[in-house]
């Protein structure tokens, strides 16, 4: 099977993967330290498990080779069996069932950390994966799956190793995260997604460590941002020991329920990891059946990342220029001596000053070697610095840097000259990231037209490679003003490129080379460039005037560079709609430092609940959201009430609710009660099947401002009229509202009561009726 | 003609998640952004299963055995009729009531929806089982719709199916307790042995 065929298959239907091998074979009594040895010692046992997975409905089965790489086998003194174990695994998987299934070779991590977090070099990891992948491919797998990776750099080594062997084999790449959405090495799901979106893999996904429930929010993130088809393999919960046996708590039904959610979020391949056995797979295939994958709406967000840091490039990107060994000879010699303390200090300073990324210019590249570049990148990685813009001239050193870099970088830069551009484009395609393209070929063009001609040529080359122009910044070339260059050419080039929808970046400080008062010139020119449509800049972030002008100009253009903060009200809405009580109370504590509880209750929380009511009325949220928000708000209202002195708190309007006699349906009434309470009403709920006489006596006792009745059945709806009449007979002129499936506006009018279609209408009605009543009283 | 009692497997009562959500007023795809809610609904799905004791009381007899007022107008030409009452039992009611008392309205809403869909799934499962045995028949029909009054429930439950009041209570209005209880009729076009 090739990548195109696999891609078509992924569009046609959701593919079912198998479950675990290790935990399942151990459960069946195998006590081998390395379960993969069963491929040689008990192949029938492995085949039997795979046949059970196939019978359960799996489309793809994995080879029993998770730990069968040289580094892991070495620790079991089985290094010499690598080829036999892997080849046998493919043969077993092929021979299981009817033989029509897809067989994917399974590659797990090496078990060692890569430099700089551990001792393993990128190269050795690369070779290790390549060796196992080669064996599996030669033995005849249909594709490969890289799984349970906790180090983005290790995963990248594996992807490159596979792709250098075979560019047309289907490849799935999965990482494992904790319940906070971080890998052991600090990579977030979003960073994983942004890096893997660029790499030559066919499917990206999550597996292991987490139960389905814990994995769901992380998968939600992946589903929002992944440009690739998605796979998912949760564990069957957290293992526990019971009678000496490891037990996984997630039942097949629970697993299947969540798989349905993953499918809803757009999963293309679903299966299970530790603790998931054939019963789970059977429940999953039964629940999902034969279905096409859901189409996802992917949010295309351009960003750059390091291993642990992600920065969006929109609306504006600021790159610090000061790690520039070309301009600072001391940096050059420090790199040669592998002393990176000054570089790390500069990285930290620029971050403090507000840079999104750091430009890394290693100076005269003939003076440095591959090892020094590797160490430099590793050191920056180890200190979790900002994402890097690699300002390298030498292609081979650039490639060394990119191999070592576990993130989505900027490659700065390429000319529009075909050979150079093609080479740099290949690096971008291989390692991922964003490319800066200069608006020149060999010589700097002197006119706007000739710079645009270079852009035109570059675009025709870029589009042939299939790379999106969203991943390209064009540099319109800033030349020293002091040597008589006309800055208007740069400005006009930016304007024209902006008009064409292309993104531009400049190296700002070139303008003022050799001139006094550089900061003033840089700041003024930057303002002009921003007005012309500039989208990114490489500058000296220590220049205060430049940074202030940048901040002001972006604000004028409503392009605040800092991430737009969620408005207080929106933040509150989010907390309410998600039922995040703890977070809500943290926010309340902060609010209480400035405002009193009565104000917060009336002017902060109440309007938020009204907004939520509107969202519900507009069908932008659904009933469960409304209820969750109301319940969450209720706790906050109660808290505020407890803080408001008795003398200040006004008497709450009181409402009696009841389901009429003969009717036992009260869900609608409960919802109404919840919404009313969350809006400050006192609610007395008399329950279900309540005779008219009891409603009357409770009204006499509690003197409510309004009575709300619920009637679901056609056989009970007439009781509403009975209650209304009984209230009148008792001399109680209390407004009555009614709702329920059998009630409608006409009927309500005939009974002399008000009709509320749903809880939000009931709330509005209560407010109107009670306010009207109190006005009448006042007039009276 | 003696009614029979059948205790179905729980798997007969597991509602399709999409239907459950729809009954609760949600659409899965539009709610995907609020995954906390999805997780909550899943928890309740799994919880509800522990609180049901599904039972079906059923009786199949020639059409002439039943009073004419029980047979819907759309059932013409049937040779025989099955009546059955299905219930999820009282424990789910109690769970929902308890949560209601504590003002956990969201849980109540979702469990109500789950219960309704579960009961419908149970009815559908039994319906399929009957059709396999009895061949072509009418659509399943419940009193309260069309020409058969909901108050017929009392006759169905007490006199035909002879279900003790301790298991299913029928109010004067025709409403039954436990709340997740239904009565159904299916007419058969062939004679039954």
**CATH number of the domain to which A455 belongs:** 3.20.20.20
- What integer pLDDT is reported at residue A745 of this predicted model? 87
Q: Which of residues 43-82 of A touch B (CB under 8 A)?
A: none
Query: Domain check: are A636 and A659 in the same one?
Result: no
Query: Domain check: are A638 and A661 in the same one?
Result: no
Tell me if A715 and B150 make a contact (CB, 8 A cut-off). Answer: yes
Tell me if B108 and A670 make a contact (CB, 8 A cut-off). Answer: yes
How close B65 comes to chain A (CA, Å)?
Answer: 28
A439 contacts A503 by C-beta, under 8 angstroms: no
CA-closest candidate to residue A8, choices A233, A136, A144, A170? A170
A331 contacts A323 by C-beta, under 8 angstroms: yes
Domain boundaries, chain B: 4-188
CA-closest candidate to residue A743, choices A718, A763, A768? A718
- What integer pLDDT is reported at residue B34 of this predicted model? 78
Q: Is the pLDDT of residue A7 over 90?
A: yes
Query: Domain check: are A711 and A575 in the same one?
Result: no
Identify whether A649 is part of a domain.
no
H or E element: which one contains A719? helix A718-729
The Cα A463–Cα A460 span in angstroms is: 5
Residues 6+ apart with CB under 8 A from A526: A508, A534, A537, A539, A546, A549, A550, A553
Query: Domain check: are A736 and A592 in the same one?
Result: no
Query: Domain check: are A669 and A587 in the same one?
Result: no
Tell me if B173 and A716 make a contact (CB, 8 A cut-off). Answer: yes
pLDDT band of A669, cuts 50, 70, 90:
confident
Which residues of B are less than 8 Å from A689 in CB distance?
171
Encode pLDDT of A201-234 as tens digits.
Answer: 999 999 998 999 999 999 999 999 999 999 999 9
Nearest CB to A622; choose among B31, B39, B151: B31
Encode pLDDT of A380-428 as tens digits.
Answer: 988 867 999 999 999 999 999 999 999 999 999 999 999 999 999 999 9
Query: Chain-wide mean pLDDT for chain A?
Result: 91
Q: Choose the final residue of a domain: A643, A673, A696.
A: A643
* CATH number of the structural domain B4-188: 3.40.109.40
Query: Domain check: are A664 and A762 in the same one?
Result: yes
- What integer pLDDT is reported at residue A561 of this predicted model? 57
Q: In CATH, what number is assigned to the domain containing residue A610?
A: 1.10.1240.10
Q: Give the whole-number percent of chain A exceeding pLDDT 90.
A: 69
Query: Domain check: are A22 and A120 in the same one?
Result: yes
Across A176-190, B21-35, B91-105, B114-128, least confident range: B21-35
How close B137 comes to chain A (CA, Å)?
Answer: 28
How close B191 comes to chain A (CA, Å)?
Answer: 35
Identify whether A305 is part of a domain.
no
Encode pLDDT of B140-172 as tens digits.
Answer: 999 988 778 889 999 999 999 999 999 999 998
Mean pLDDT computed over A487-494: 97
Domain count of chain A?
A: 4
Q: Is the pLDDT of residue A778 over 90?
A: no
Query: Domain check: are A107 and A247 in the same one?
Result: yes
Query: Chain-wide mean pLDDT for chain B?
Result: 92
The gap from C-alpha A673 to its chain's centroid, in whole angstroms, comes to 36
Query: Domain check: are A279 and A317 in the same one?
Result: no
pLDDT band of A688, cuts 50, 70, 90:
confident
Q: Give the whole-number percent of chain A exceeding pLDDT 70.
A: 96
Query: Domain check: are A530 and A662 in the same one?
Result: no
Query: Domain check: are A658 and A635 in the same one?
Result: no
The total of other beta-carbon atoms located within 10 Å of residue B69's CB is 11
Q: Is the pLDDT of residue A602 over 50?
A: yes
**A473 or A779, higher pLDDT:** A473
- What integer pLDDT is reported at residue A562 of this predicted model? 45
Using DSSP's 3-state secondary structure scheme, residue A318 falls into strand
Identify whether A331 is part of a domain.
no
Q: Is the pLDDT of residue A278 over 90?
A: yes
pLDDT band of A647, cuts 50, 70, 90:
low
Tell me if A625 and B34 make a contact (CB, 8 A cut-off). Answer: yes
Using DSSP's 3-state secondary structure scheme, residue B110 falls into helix
Structural domain span for residue A531: 312-321+386-555
Query: Domain check: are A616 and A714 in the same one?
Result: no
Q: Choose the final residue of a domain: A529, A555, A581.
A: A555
How close A716 comes to chain B (CA, Å)?
Answer: 7
Mean pLDDT computed over A152-161: 98
- Whether A677 has its CB under 8 Å from any CB of chain B: the answer is yes
- What integer pLDDT is reported at residue A610 of this predicted model? 83
Identify whether A352 is part of a domain.
no
Q: Choose the final residue of a domain: A526, A555, A584.
A: A555
Burial A425-451 (b: 16+ CB within 10 A, else e): bebbbbbbbbbbbbbbbeeebeebebb
Nearest CB to B105; choose among A580, A664, A670: A670
CA-closest candidate to residue A61, choices A49, A70, A73? A49
- What integer pLDDT is reported at residue A565 of this predicted model? 31
Q: Give the whole-number percent of chain B exceeding pLDDT 70.
A: 96
Q: Is the pLDDT of residue A480 over 80?
A: yes
The Cα A389–Cα A402 span in angstroms is: 10
A148: left (phi over 0), alpha (psi -120 to 50) or beta: left
Encode pLDDT of A567-584 as tens digits.
Answer: 334 788 888 887 778 889
Chosen from B173, B176, B177, B178 to mutate, greatest number of chain A CBs within 10 A: B173
Mean pLDDT computed over A704-730: 89
Q: Is the pLDDT of residue A280 over 70?
A: yes
Identify whether A378 is part of a domain.
no
Identify whether A316 is part of a domain.
yes
- What integer pLDDT is reported at residue A579 of this predicted model? 76
Mean pLDDT computed over B26-46: 80
Encode pLDDT of A512-538 as tens digits.
Answer: 988 889 999 999 999 999 999 999 999
**B175 or A602, higher pLDDT:** B175
């Amino acid at each position: 099977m090739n990548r195109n065929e696999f891609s078509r298959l992924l569009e046609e239907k959701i593919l079912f993967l198998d479950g675990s091998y290790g935990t399942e074979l151990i459960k069946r009594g195998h006590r081998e330290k390395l379960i993969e040895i069963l491929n040689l010692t008990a192949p029938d046992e492995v085949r039997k498990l795979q046949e059970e997975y196939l019978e359960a409905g799996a489309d793809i089965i994995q080879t029993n080779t998770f730990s069968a790489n040289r580094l892991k086998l070495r620790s079991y003194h089985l290094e010499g069996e690598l080829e036999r174990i892997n080849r046998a695994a493919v043969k077993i998987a092929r021979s299981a069932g009817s033989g029509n299934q897809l067989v994917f070779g399974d590659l797990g991590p090496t078990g060692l950390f890569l430099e700089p977090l551990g001792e393993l070099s990128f190269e050795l990891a690369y070779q290790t994966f390549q060796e196992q992948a080669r064996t599996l491919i030669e033995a005849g797998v249909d594709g490969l799956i890289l799984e349970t990776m906790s180090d983005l750099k290790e995963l990248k080594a594996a992807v490159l190793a596979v792709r250098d062997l075979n560019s047309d084999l289907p490849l799935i790449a999965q990482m494992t995260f904790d319940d906070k959405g971080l890998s052991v090495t600090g990579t977030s799901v979003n960073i994983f997604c942004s890096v893997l979106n660029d790499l030559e893999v066919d499917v990206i996904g999550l597996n292991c460590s987490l139960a389905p429930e814990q994995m769901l929010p992380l998968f939600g993130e992946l589903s929002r941002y992944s440009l690739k088809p998605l796979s998912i393999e949760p564990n069957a919960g957290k293992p526990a020991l019971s009678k000496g046996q490891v037990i996984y708590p997630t039942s097949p039904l629970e697993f299947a329920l969540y798989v349905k959610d993953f499918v809803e979020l757009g999963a293309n391949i679903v299966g299970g990891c530790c603790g998931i056995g054939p019963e789970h797979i059977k429940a999953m295939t039964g629940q999902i059946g034969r279905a096409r994958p859901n189409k996802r709406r992917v949010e295309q967000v351009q960003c750059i990342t390091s291993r642990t840091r992600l920065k969006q490039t929109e609306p504006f990107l600021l790159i610090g220029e000061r790690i520039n060994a070309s301009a600072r000879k001391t940096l050059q010699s420090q790199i040669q001596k592998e002393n990176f303390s000054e570089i790390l200090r500069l990285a930290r300073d620029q971050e403090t000053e507000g840079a999104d990324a750091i430009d890394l210019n290693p100076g005269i590249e003939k003076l440095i070697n591959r090892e020094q570049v590797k160490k430099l990148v590793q050191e920056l990685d180890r200190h979790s610095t900002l994402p890097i813009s690699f300002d390298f001239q030498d292609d081979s050193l650039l490639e060394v840097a990119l191999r070592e870099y576990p993130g989505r970088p900027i490659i700065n830069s390429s000319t529009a000259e075909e050979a150079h551009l093609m080479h740099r484009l290949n690096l971008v395609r291989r390692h991922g990231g964003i490319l800066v393209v200069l608006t020149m070929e060999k010589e700097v063009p002197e006119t706007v037209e000739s710079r645009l001609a270079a852009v035109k040529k570059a675009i025709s080359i870029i589009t042939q490679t299939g790379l999106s122009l969203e991943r390209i910044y064009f540099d319109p070339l800033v030349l020293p003003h002091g040597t008589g260059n006309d800055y208007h050419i740069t400005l006009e080039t930016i304007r024209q490129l902006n008009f064409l929808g292309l993104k531009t970046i400049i190296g700002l400080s070139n303008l003022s080379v050799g001139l006094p008062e550089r900061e003033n010139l840089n700041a003024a020119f930057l303002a002009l460039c921003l007005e012309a449509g500039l989208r990114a800049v490489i500058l000296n972030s220590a220049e205060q005037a430049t940074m202030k002008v940048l901040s002001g100009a972006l604000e004028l253009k409503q392009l605040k560079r800092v991430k737009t903060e969620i408005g207080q009200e929106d933040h509150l809405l989010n907390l309410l709609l998600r039922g995040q009580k703890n977070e809500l109370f943290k926010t309340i504590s902060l609010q209480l430092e400035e405002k009193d509880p009565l104000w917060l209750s009336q002017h902060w929380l109440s309007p938020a609940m009204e907004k939520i009511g509107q969202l519900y009325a507009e069908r932008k949220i659904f009933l469960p959201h409304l209820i969750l928000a109301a319940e969450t708000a209720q706790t906050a209202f109660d808290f505020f009430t407890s803080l408001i002195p008795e003398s200040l708190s006004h008497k709450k309007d009181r409402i009696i609710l009841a389901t009429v006699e003969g009717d036992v349906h009260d869900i609608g009434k409960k919802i109404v009660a919840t919404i009313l309470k969350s809006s400050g009403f006192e609610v007395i709920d008399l329950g279900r099947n309540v005779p008219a006489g009891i409603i009357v006596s409770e009204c006499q006792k509690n003197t409510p401002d309004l009575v709300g009745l619920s009637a679901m059945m056609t056989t009970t709806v007439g009781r509403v009229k009975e209650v209304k009449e009984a209230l009148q007979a008792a001399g109680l002129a209390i407004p009555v509202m009614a709702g329920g499936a059998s009630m409608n506006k006409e009927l309500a009018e005939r009974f002399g009561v008000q009709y509320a279609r749903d809880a939000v209408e009931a709330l509005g009605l209560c407010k109107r009726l009670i306010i009207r009543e109190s006005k009448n009283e006042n007039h009276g | 003609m003696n009614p029979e009692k059948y205790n179905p497997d729980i798997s007969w009562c597991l509602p399709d998640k999409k239907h459950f959500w729809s009954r609760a007023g949600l659409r899965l795809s539009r709610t995907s952004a609020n995954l906390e809610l999805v997780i909550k609904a899943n928890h309740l799905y799994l919880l509800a299963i522990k609180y049901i004791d599904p039972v079906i009381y059923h009786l199949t007899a020639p059409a002439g055995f039943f009073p004419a007022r029980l047979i819907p107008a759309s059932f013409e030409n049937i040779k025989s009729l099955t009546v059955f009452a299905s219930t999820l039992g009282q424990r789910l009611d109690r769970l929902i009531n308890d949560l209601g008392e504590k003002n956990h309205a969201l849980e109540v809403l979702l469990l109500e929806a789950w219960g309704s869909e579960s009961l419908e799934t149970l009815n559908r499962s039994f319906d399929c089982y009957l059709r396999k045995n009895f061949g072509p028949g009418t659509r399943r029909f419940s009193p309260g719709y069309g020409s058969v009054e909901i108050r017929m429930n009392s006759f169905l439950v007490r006199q035909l199916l002879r279900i003790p009041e301790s298991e299913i209570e029928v109010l004067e209005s025709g409403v039954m307790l436990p709340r997740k209880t239904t009565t159904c009729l299916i007419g058969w076009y062939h004679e039954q042995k």
